[in-house]
Structure 1
Amino acid sequence: MLELKKEKLPVREMIQKAMETLECSYAPYSNFKVAASLLTEDGVIYTGCNIENAAYSPGNCAERTAFFKAVSEGVREFAAICIVNEDEKGGHGICPPCGMCRQVMMEFCRPEEFYIILAADEAQYEIHTLAELFPMGFGPGSLKG
């Protein structure tokens, strides 16, 4: 099991992989591309992109795409995720995860130990824990009496 502290995260590699994955984004309606790179406790990186749909609701966020890819392959332990975006003009900014994505993270991550890297590029990024971005989050532990 890979136990990473904030200072030991492979931030540059995660940002690069997420930026490369922006090319796979399917965002013909919003023109707002989002990509993510998800680091497992074993050091493997899964990527995901947002996938829009004409009916809107069936679309999926980049973060959940990465989680669902990993979980569908049997992975259940995660260390960090990096999220990047690109607007219709090709600009990049800080893009925090939506509420549904934060809820999925709560299902599979330890809030105080899971890191979320919000990156505009390799020089401009922020690192937060899930607990910081989703205080008092509802997760599996909430169902235990």
Structure 2
Amino acid sequence: MTLDQALVDAAIDQARRRWPADEPGGAAAVRLDDGRILTSVGLDNMHGSVTLCQETGAYCQAYTLDRRVTASVCVFRDPEDGRYVILPPCGICQERLALWGPEVEVGVPDPEDPTRWLARTLAQVNPYYWALHFADGAWPSHQTHSS
């Protein structure tokens, strides 16, 4: 189960449902190991430190369902031109995704054409993952992350 246009479209559809066309807004979609797609949006809040990334809700739901995330994508609509761009996972979301291993695919913008996207594994996006030091150079297992 990989990152594909259907996953990107699910995130865009969620963003369109949640945010009026004249507002900036984003959403995320994740694919689970059983093929299901979960979507989520971030919380807006006056106090910036309590806001959440777009992906957080879907990650928590996957974890609640005891399912493995195999792919994740985050989109953002630019209010100036209305087009959607792919946002790579921030460092915090990379850490959240690490629970499901280095092979999780994430969407990143194509450096040659930012209107297009590419799928990369978490290990490709984060080749110097800090936790390798504490797991004898191997990606920490789900069990290690959860303990």
Normalising by structure 1, report the TM-score: 0.75
Residue by residue over 1:85-121, the C-alpha shift from the partner in whole angstroms, topping out at 9 and shown as x without a partner, is 1122223223111111111111x2211x11112369x
Task: Note the residue ranges of structure 1 that are not aligned, 5 or more in a row.
Answer: none
Matches within 5 A, 1:1-145: 4=1, 9=2, 11-25=4-18, 32-75=24-67, 77-89=68-80, 90-106=82-98, 108-111=99-102, 113-118=103-108, 124-139=116-131, 143-144=134-135
Find the aligned partners of 1:87 and 1:69 in 2 and give their Cα distance.
27
Q: SS state of the match for residue 124, structure 1?
A: strand
Task: Note the residue ranges of structure 2 that are not aligned, 5 or more in a row.
Answer: 137-147
2:5 is matched by which residue type in structure 1? R
Find the aligned partners of 1:110 and 1:22 in 2 and give their Cα distance.
27
Q: SS state of the match for residue 48, structure 2?
A: coil
**Deviation above 6 Å: which 4+ runs of structure 1?**
none
Q: Which has the larger radius of gyration?
A: 2
1:79 is matched by which residue type in structure 2? T
Shifted more, 36-45 versus 86-95: the winner is 86-95
- Report % sequence identity: 23
Kindly state the Cα deviation for residue 83 of structure 1 after the two structures are TM-superposed: 1.8
Find the aligned partners of 1:98 and 1:25 in 2 and give their Cα distance.
22
- Give the 3 Å change call, closer, same or farther, for CA 91–19 of structure 1 in structure 2: same
Residue by residue over 1:2-39, the C-alpha shift from the partner in whole angstroms, topping out at 9 and shown as x without a partner, is xx4xxxx361210110101113557xxxx542211111
Q: How many residues are treated as equivalent by the alignment? A: 129
